[in-house]
Amino acid sequence: MTVRIAFRALKRNKLRTGLTMLGMIIGVSAVITMTALGTGAQAQIEDRIRGAGTNMVSIFPGSANVGGVKQGAGSSSRLVPEDGKALREVAEVEYVSEGLQTRQQVVYGSQNWSTNVVGANTDYTSIKSWPLKYGSFFTDADVAASAKVCTLGINVGGRFAPP
């Protein structure tokens, strides 16, 4: 009996019924869309954090003071390769990559790109958890021989890599 009364009320108030249904459909769709966007954004942020290197500590030299003027962070050269060797002796440290970082203009053919250049050893790719798309990473033999090899990141590599 109650169901019959409800259906009669729905039939008599078709506009109100349609608007109520439309409101419910839009509301449910909005909740589903916002949940999907939130999940996608969370996955993207987690990927970026993983790409930056999880459980990573970066150690940079301090600033030099020349004639009473501070030269800025990283201008001191008090860190030496032996410091990296000492860090490898710490049991909790899995990877160590000594290196230098600078901003340079990279040129290939008629194209060029201003980018960060990082001098590092073979542990750097394990620290950063970077996947390989083309070619191969440089090896310990390349580092020992000071070979002129490089690994391009996605920004520069995407501009110069083969199609």
Tens of pLDDT, residue by residue, the chain (163 residues): 899 998 888 888 889 888 999 999 999 999 999 999 999 999 888 877 776 666 777 777 766 666 666 666 555 667 777 887 888 888 888 888 887 778 888 887 888 888 888 888 888 877 777 777 777 888 889 888 888 888 877 777 666 555 5
If one counts every other C-beta atom within 10 angstroms of the C-beta of residue 1, the result is 5
- Determine, yes or no, domain membership for 66: no
Q: What was the pLDDT predicted at 31?
A: 96
Q: How many residues does the chain have?
A: 163
- Determine, yes or no, domain membership for 42: yes
- Determine, yes or no, domain membership for 8: yes
Do 32 and 97 fall within a single domain? Answer: no
- Determine, yes or no, domain membership for 60: no
Q: What was the pLDDT predicted at 9?
A: 87
Do 86 and 40 fall within a single domain? Answer: no
Do 156 and 85 fall within a single domain? Answer: yes
Query: What range does the domain containing 85 cover?
Result: 80-160
Domain count, the chain: 2
Do 155 and 115 fall within a single domain? Answer: yes
Task: List beta partners, residue 103.
Answer: 116
- Determine, yes or no, domain membership for 118: yes
Q: Which residues, at least 6 apart from 92, have a Cβ–Cβ distance to it below 8 Å? A: none
- Determine, yes or no, domain membership for 150: yes
d(CA 84, CA 61): 13
Positive or negative CA dihedral for 135, 140, 144, 150? positive
